[in-house]
Structure 1
Amino acid sequence: MEAGRRPGHRGRGRRVIDETIWRDLEAPQPGAGRSVRRLFPESPHDIHLSVTHPGRRRMLLLRADARAADRVRRLLVDLPQTSGLSLSLSSISPREFELQVSLTADDLREVFSPLVEDIAEVVRDTDTGATALEAAVRRFLHWQQLMRTVSRDGLGNEGRRGLFGELYFLRGYLLPWIPHVAAVSAWTGPEGTPQDFQLANAAVEVKTTTAKSPRTVRIANERQLDDTGVEALLLTQIAVDERRGGAGESLNTLVDSVRSRLDSPLARARLDAQLIRVGYFPNQRDLYEEPRFTLRRTDLWKVVDGFPRIVESDLDQGVGNCTYDIDVSALEAHRVTTDEVTELIRGTDG
């Protein structure tokens, strides 16, 4: 059986797959079967959310022809197991197959929605059925790796520190000045974008350090400070004290502070989805009461011509993944004020 296909559609404004959609699909149905809702009607791919009845298992479904299925089978060989999640390929007719991403444990419900949302987004714009299936499997593997990396110990020290800095910037520099949905949607770092924040007229890369007197800024690759196609690019370094106990702010406290400021359920859902993407899982909150962070200073620079950096166009063919340090003393001419950053974020500069 199939429920009405009212699309759980998100345009580029990123409507989040939330509990309302799942509860609609979980509404009691007469007899066995499943409820289905199509995502992205404008996409050439057949992507659905689904819930089985009477078991109420949540799934993401992607249909493709037999040729596409044959190409992706190699990726499913020796697929590692992840507790609470499964990935399978099933034949639904002699010529049609269905890739199923399924939730098998209720304690991962909060993780499952952003996981399938992320996979569906990746699949939506692929060219063919084969590339769609392959993209879905590879993205599932990405999530498996994230969940294994985070594991029982949660985010590592660098991950916690980086997340603190990005949320601090979101709270202090975006939420006071632009609509909250737009502010949270601008936080794209968890999706692997070149910079941590991407606004309509500016991008921002945020670095967080515990160095007492930071003399350098570590740049992870040649794309982080590449302003190609960006109206304005900012580099921010947030220096914090990090210690157990004391009067500082824990990661949990900062997360709760940001969430409490958001003025819409959509903004809060978007925040929660991005937190999960970065590896901050709701069932691990007890791991993030320590350490405590105290702000020491914030440095703001605008990346323009003459800014010391390595960008992709400077590199010889075959060279990439360049990690390098910039001496802070070389950035003084590029320093900007908080007011100037605010004007850029609000789109009122110049």
Structure 2
Amino acid sequence: MTTQHGTSFMEAWDAIGSETGVGTFRRRLVAALPIYVTITNPDSIPGLAIELGTTEGVDIGDARGSDRIRLELRGGASAQLSLAATSPDHTDIFLTVADDISQHLIDCKDVGEAVHNLVQRFTTWQRFLRRAAGGLMSANRQLGLFGELVTLRDLLAPAVGVRDAVAAWTGPANAPQDFQVGRIAVEVKGIVHSEPQVFVIDGERQLDDHGLDALVLAHHRVLRHRQAGQSLPDLIAEFRTEIGDDIATQDRFTSSLNTYGYEDADELEYSTTGYTLRDSFHYRVHSGFPRLTETDLPNGTGGLRYSIAASACEAYLIDGDDIAGWLSEPGSAGDAATAAESAVVEYKATAWTPTAPTQNADHRRSVVQALKTEIVKTVVALLNTAGGELVIGVDDDQNITGIAADLAESGLPTDDLDTYELRLIELLRERIDGIVTQQLRISFAEHDGHQTCHLSVAPSPNPRFGRPFAANNEPSRPMFWVRTGNATNSLDGHDLIDYVANHWH
């Protein structure tokens, strides 16, 4: 049956509601246009549909459905744009929304205008329903998202790259900290500049660095404006431009935003508030930091929520460049053929092969152990200072000798670089620790027909020790080395304590 022009949605719904058969039934809402009220049985799901003929040229923008109302654009021979309740439980809200939308369709001149009006009015309803359900983020939640996006843009992305930075964003998933790259985590707090600079800590795990190499608390002091500054949509659009054509990362970024509570459909509401970053500070959270963790609580207690004054954290300030160094892949410190030895460049002719004649087997064994110890010492010193590069296959006079002698000493073919790398890794893991490979990268280069081995070492977020080979196979004690100029020196006693306190804050 076709309804007369101007019949209300509810009248058409009452008429079609008597249908009891299984399937989808419809009644025309507008005589001059293919706009229908529908019912899908056996669950009596109400709907509103516009027949299109073709979807070519149909633009619904960013409009999409929700958990209560489905919006669907279907192509093919039965092309149509439709709204429908997602379940019988949502019938009442759907009828209210559809009745209002239908009033904006009755007087449309053509299908194109009807599609435009349906999308526009439905989008308005979606915003209203989100606000009514608390769907829009609170002012504090918006500020928190701004702080995390600033950290993503200014700290994480430059250090590890945009793709890995987005993958490291764990805050939306309610992880204990907002970002984690390997064993380094970052918790973010954004606070309005004019308000007391106090961090609200949710839970006993948020500032717990147990199992981490480093935990950083990022503190952003922010000016909040009305119709000024950088809005959340502006910042999000800027970062999406940084992501570029990486579709997987774009999807992951959008998914994280949605999980956090941000929907692109609410862009207009969020555009009225802007922010200006006034200051950013970073604090190293470790022993002595003003915090409460699980070990501080009596058995059976939890769900902790407390506050910390930012002024109480000033003794733990660290430079953002230090954090970036911990996060970044170790880079090359220079060209082995031209760079002089320095605090960040060291040369070794071989890793374990004597370059001068040895007297006997015992003497040769001790020389080999001393050479291996030199490799360990240099890597530990670079870890404990500013990182850098150890090049094997170049002597102290910068003559390129290559690693052929080491390969021959190990009984390896001259092109078996994989096994050579494994031997180095085994040495470092045995003499330093099991996680040393997380802060170094091994590569090979060819110079004048010789292969050189390059160990690029990142600065460590924690003190690192190495065990030298001891004479007569006696147990060796851990040693602490640093780079001083182009030399490697050991520290102990008060010198070691002072260095650790100053270098790692």
The corresponding residue for 2:238 is: 257
Which whole-Å deviations, capped at 9, do the CAs of 1:198-232 have from their partners, x for residues lacking one?
Answer: 11131000001004264422212211001111111
C-alpha RMSD of the superposition: 2.2
Partner residue of 1:309 out of 291, 295, 301: 291
Q: Check if 1:282 corresponds to 2:248.
A: no
Distance 1:229 1:188 in 2: 17
Aligned counterpart in structure 2 of residue 218 of structure 1, from 189, 200, 219: 200
1:31-55 Cα shifts (integer Å, max 9, x gaps): xxxxxxxxxxxxxxxxxxxxxxxxx
What does residue 270 of structure 1 align with? 252
Shift of 1:84: 3.8
Q: Deviations over 1:3-23 (max 9, x none)?
A: xxxxxxxxxxxxxxxxxxxxx
| Match among 209, 218, 224 for residue 236 of structure 1 | 218
Establish whether residue 194 from structure 1 lines up as the match of residue 176 from structure 2.
yes
Q: Distance in 2 between matches of 1:225 and 1:150?
A: 34
- 3-state SS of 1:85 partner: coil
Which residue matches 2:67?
85
Choose from 287, 312, 337 the match for 2:319.
337
Residues in 2 aligned to 1:289 and 1:148: alpha-carbon distance in whole angstroms: 16
Separation in 2, partners of 1:294, 1:85: 35
Cα distance in structure 2, aligned partners of 1:340 and 1:218: 25
1:149 deviation in Å?
A: 7.7
Partner of 1:72: none
How far residue 270 of structure 1 moved from its aligned partner, in angstroms, is: 0.6
TM-superposed CA distance for 1:194, in Å, is 0.2
Aligned partners of 1:238, 1:254: CA distance in 2, in Å?
15
Call closer, same or farther: CA 1:282–1:213 in 2, change over 3 Å: closer
User: Which runs of no fewer than 5 residues in structure 2 stay unpaired?
Assistant: 1-64, 74-128, 330-457, 461-505
* Larger Rg, first or second structure (1 or 2): 2
Partner amino acid for 1:189?
G
Residues 16-35 of structure 1 mapped to structure 2, 5 A cutoff: none
Query: Distance in 2 between the 1:185 and 1:316 partners?
Result: 35
In the other structure, the counterpart of 2:459 is 349
Measured in 2, the distance between the counterparts of 1:306 and 1:149 equals: 43
TM-score, with length taken from structure 1: 0.57
- What is the letter of the counterpart of residue 237 of structure 2? D
The Cα offsets for residues 132-173 of structure 1, whole Å up to 9 and x where unpaired, read as xxxxxxxxxxxxxxx968847611101110000000110111
* Equivalent runs, 1:310-325 vs 2, <5 Å: 310-325=292-307
Match for residue 445 of structure 2? Answer: none
Question: What is the rounded CA distance, in whole Å, between the counterparts of 1:259 and 1:184 in structure 2?
Answer: 11
Q: 2:161 aligns with which of 179, 182, 186?
A: 179
CA distance in 2, matches of 1:154, 1:203: 28
Evaluate the alpha carbon distance shift between residue 312 and residue 272 of structure 1 in structure 2; reply closer, same or farther with a 3 A threshold: same
1:242-261 CA-to-partner distances (Å, cap 9, x unmatched) read 01023x10000000011110
TM-score, scaled relative to structure 2: 0.40
Distance apart, 1:349 and its partner CA: 2.3
Cross-structure match for 2:144: 162
In the alignment, is the contact (CA less than 8 A) between 2:183 and 2:211 conserved in 1? no
Q: Residue 333 of structure 1: CA displacement? A: 1.8
Q: Residue 326 and residue 265 in structure 1: after superposition, are their counterparts in 2 closer, same or farther (change >3 A)?
A: same
SS of 2:204's equivalent?
coil
Listed one character per residue, the Cα deviations across residues 303-344 of structure 1 (whole Å, up to 9, x for unaligned) are 111111100122112321211111222212210011112112
For residues 117-146 of structure 1, the C-alpha deviation after alignment (integer angstroms, 9 at most, x for no partner) is xxxxxxxxxxxxxxxxxxxxxxxxxxxxxx
Cα 1:213/1:287, change in 2 over 3 Å: closer
2:335 corresponding residue in structure 1: none
CA distance in 1, matches of 2:287, 2:132: 39
**Which residue of the other structure, out of 151, 164, 189, is the alignment partner of 1:207?**
189
Q: Which residue of 2 aligns with 1:68?
A: none
Structure 1 residue 278: Cα displacement: 0.8
CA 1:223 to 1:172, structure 2 compared with 1: closer, same or farther past 3 Å? Answer: same
Distance (Å, rounded) in 2 between the aligned partners of 1:243 and 1:85: 33
- The Cα of 1:274 is off from its aligned counterpart by 0.3
Q: Which runs of 5+ in 1 are unaligned?
A: 1-82, 87-102, 108-146
- Distance in 1 (alpha carbons) for counterparts of 2:219 and 2:71: 40
User: After the TM superposition, which residues 52-201 of structure 1 pair with which residues of structure 2 at under 5 Å, given as runs?
Assistant: 84-85=66-67, 104-106=70-72, 151=133, 154-201=136-183
Aligned-partner SS, 1:316:
coil
Counterpart Cα distance in 2 of 1:297 and 1:104: 44
Bigger relative contact order, structure 1 or 2 (CA pairs below 8 A, ≥6 apart): 1
**In 1, Cα distance between the equivalents of 2:72 and 2:300?**
46
8 A Cα contact 1:307 1:334, kept in partner: yes
- Tell me how far apart the structure 2 counterparts of residues 330 and 212 of structure 1 sit (CA, whole Å): 18
Alignment: residue pair count: 212
Over 3 Å counting, the alpha-carbon distance change for 1:298 and 1:85 in structure 2 is same
- Counterparts of 1:104 and 1:329 in 2: how far apart (Å)? 50
On the 8 A contact 1:251/1:290 being kept in 2, the answer is no
